[in-house]
Amino acid sequence: MLRAFYRDNRMVPLGIMLLTFLVFVYHFELDRQGPLGEIPAAAVPDKLVVDTPRTHSSPVVEIVDPVDDAAEQLAHPAIPSAVPSSKPKVPANSGTTTHSLHLPKTINSDDVVLMFKTGATVLWKRVPIHLATSLSPNRINPNNVLLYSDYPETIGDWDFIDVLANTSDAVRHSENFQPYRQQEDYESRQNYAEISNVPGDSAGPAGGWKLDKYKFLPIVQHAGRNRPDAKWYIFMEDDSYIFLPNLLRHLERFDHREPWYLGSLAWIHGDYFAHGGSGFAISRGAWEQSFGKDPNIVEKYQTFTEAHGCGDHILGHVLKEYGVQFGETHGDNRFRYGFNPESHWSTWFEQANWCKPVYSWHHTHSKDVARFYELEKSWNFEQGPLRFQDIFKAMIAPYLHSRVVWWDNWSSKFEIRSNNAQDAKPPSSVKSTDTWRNAWQSVDACEAACVSWADCVQWSFYEDRCKMDSMILLGSGIPESDSRRQTTLPWVSGWLPRRVENWEC
């Protein structure tokens, strides 16, 4: 039969057509967004580092091993029925929509509450930019924004709630709470906490960050009580930017009546939780199962709060105690890209995240917030979400050079030094081992080694070391007048952005 088939010339064109058709259909199946199509590819980044020590002194330093996650996914391929359904809006997916019988069709910004957290010592520095951008009324109805601080303030139409106002006497008199008591003192002595180079300025009470952990439970409690009709409670901090249109589209995949707690995975003391600086979303279902059931959660976890350091962890711990698990599938720690614990210029851009939507950036400067807002405004979300590659094109690519002196050296995948070059094993795409092993000898040699490795997109050279990487991280250069130029040799970095253009989705 088979022999007959390929001997029959008339059948050959038919066979080719059939094959082409099958490949075409298969391609669409792979491309499709939705629970079965998307999770395996999306959930396995190289690394998720929350609050790396380089940029942050927080005690939360966790690295998620992609190997473990991948293994876990293979071990549990079945997706719970409650997992998000795909959304038909993205044109590329329109051919293969899966419909769910009971999921809400759309979510708009009237269905969500934005819980915005700040503090008296940073409010005047970080918050005003958000009033003109993140909180713009054409983005979200002001009635759906709740501003939480640790001192009551008003800016124009915006009132900031002192979320610590109802703190128990016991906590109020604790050592950690001292900055809260001192804020009133600063205020009454006509001092400003703005650091704006204007007479009368000061930094405000020292240790304002210590109050941070006390805010999380009262914020979520207050938001749920005061906006009981919301479907989702979205949390953001004053040094973050949330891409609200992207996030709303993401949340549409989940049933808000069920307990969902979504964000960037972090853990400490064995608790999984959503990292606060990356932003997170809690469904109404999750609120009712926890804060809704127990009006005394803040008091009940007073001792736990006193004993631990991070408010986002405390909230995650409490939610877990009430059966609300972190993550996009109930009951395990799977996560996807999107909520970013770092800034865009200190995050790796790689093939694995290139096509994923972005929901947030953390450690934002006011200028970043302004730029993200402009980018978002210019975006046609009907054509698809803003993805990592779109951020890259708008905010990373313009800074890249084929070679630049006095630029920081973040590349790390391979490091060839004079004292390890002899044994250095090049990746398989490198044809000349000599080119690879000579990389430490000069800037030119380092660049040549990078070019010789097919996956290399950035390199950096300092003294006798050459670092190369298959991912791009922008970092920052050292300006001409910077005193750091007096204390070291120049670092030289370079990128191969042409290769990035070939990254595919």
Ligand X SMILES: *[C@@H]1O[C@H](CO)[C@@H](O)[C@H](O)[C@H]1NC(C)=O
Instruction: Examine residue 46 and tell whether it contacts ligand X (CB under 6 A).
Output: no
Tell me if residue 2 falls in helix, strand or coil: helix
Instruction: Examine residue 241 and tell whether it contacts ligand X (CB under 6 A).
Output: no
Looking at beta carbons only, is 83 or 230 nearer to ligand X?
230
- Dihedral class, residue 195 (left if φ above 0, else alpha if ψ from -120 to 50, else beta): left
Q: What is the 3-state secondary structure (H, E, C) of 22-57?
A: HHHHHHHHHHCCCHHHHHHHHCCCCCCEECCCCCCC
Determine the straight-line distance between the first and last CA of the chain, rounded to whole angstroms.
Answer: 40
Backbone angles phi, psi at 280, to 5 degrees: -160, 170
| Among the listed residues 272, 280, 357, the one whose alpha carbon sits nearest the alpha carbon of residue 112 | 280
Which residue type does 272 have?
Y
Instruction: Examine residue 165 and tell whether it contacts ligand X (CB under 6 A).
Output: yes
When binding is defined by CB under 6 A, the residue of 187, 408, 415, 455 that contacts ligand X is 408
Minimal distance, residue 113 CB to ligand X, in Å? 14
Looking at beta carbons only, is 116 or 462 nearer to ligand X?
462
Minimal distance, residue 320 CB to ligand X, in Å? 23
Minimal distance, residue 489 CB to ligand X, in Å? 8
Minimal distance, residue 333 CB to ligand X, in Å? 29
Beta-carbon contacts of residue 391 (< 8 Å; ≥ 6 apart) = 344, 358, 375
**Residues in 258-277 at the binding interface with ligand X, rule: CB under 6 A:** none
Minimal distance, residue 467 CB to ligand X, in Å? 8
Q: Which region, judged by CB under 6 A, interacts with ligand X, from 2-10, 89-97, 159-167, 320-328?
A: 159-167
When binding is defined by CB under 6 A, the residue of 58, 246, 409, 458 that contacts ligand X is 409
Tell me if residue 203 falls in helix, strand or coil: coil
Minimal distance, residue 462 CB to ligand X, in Å? 4
Instruction: Examine residue 410 and tell whether it contacts ligand X (CB under 6 A).
Output: yes
| Among the listed residues 392, 410, 381, the one whose alpha carbon sits nearest the alpha carbon of residue 355 | 392
Looking at beta carbons only, is 22 or 489 nearer to ligand X?
489
- The DSSP string of 350-386 is -TTTTTSBP-EEES--HHHHHHHHHHHHT--GGG---
| Among the listed residues 179, 181, 203, 180, the one whose alpha carbon sits nearest the alpha carbon of residue 191 | 203
Instruction: Examine residue 161 and tell whether it contacts ligand X (CB under 6 A).
Output: yes
| Among the listed residues 249, 252, 218, 257, the one whose alpha carbon sits nearest the alpha carbon of residue 235 | 218
Looking at beta carbons only, is 104 or 477 nearer to ligand X?
477
Instruction: Examine residue 153 and tell whether it contacts ligand X (CB under 6 A).
Output: no
Dist. CA 478–CA 318, nearest whole Å: 44
When binding is defined by CB under 6 A, the residue of 122, 127, 163, 266 that contacts ligand X is 163
Minimal distance, residue 475 CB to ligand X, in Å? 7
Side-chain-side CA neighbours of residue 386 (13 Å): 28
Looking at beta carbons only, is 136 or 418 nearer to ligand X?
418
When binding is defined by CB under 6 A, the residue of 34, 205, 218, 338 that contacts ligand X is 218
Place of tokens 């876990």: 72
Instruction: Examine residue 159 and tell whether it contacts ligand X (CB under 6 A).
Output: no
Quick one: CA dihedral 66, 67, 70, 71, positive or negative? negative
Minimal distance, residue 47 CB to ligand X, in Å? 16
Tokens representing 124 are 């005047």
Instruction: Examine residue 215 and tell whether it contacts ligand X (CB under 6 A).
Output: no
Question: Nearest to ligand X by Cβ — which residue?
Answer: 166
**Residues in 475-504 at the binding interface with ligand X, rule: CB under 6 A:** 491
Q: Which region, judged by CB under 6 A, interacts with ligand X, from 37-45, 84-92, 150-158, 408-416?
A: 408-416
**Residues in 458-477 at the binding interface with ligand X, rule: CB under 6 A:** 462
Dist. CA 459–CA 471, nearest whole Å: 10
Tokens representing 440 are 């430490």
Minimal distance, residue 163 CB to ligand X, in Å? 5
Looking at beta carbons only, is 108 or 476 nearer to ligand X?
476
User: How many residues at the interface with ligand X, by CB under 6 A?
Assistant: 11
- Measured CA distances, 111 to 132, 202, 230, 231, 368 (Å): 21, 40, 5, 5, 27
Q: Which region, judged by CB under 6 A, interacts with ligand X, from 64-72, 326-334, 390-398, 405-413?
A: 405-413
Q: Which region, judged by CB under 6 A, interacts with ligand X, from 243-251, 357-365, 406-414, 451-459?
A: 406-414
Minimal distance, residue 418 CB to ligand X, in Å? 13
Instruction: Examine residue 166 and tell whether it contacts ligand X (CB under 6 A).
Output: yes
Dist. CA 346–CA 351, nearest whole Å: 16
Minimal distance, residue 298 CB to ligand X, in Å? 8
| Residue ranges in contact with ligand X by CB under 6 A | 161, 163, 165-166, 218, 222, 408-410, 462, 491
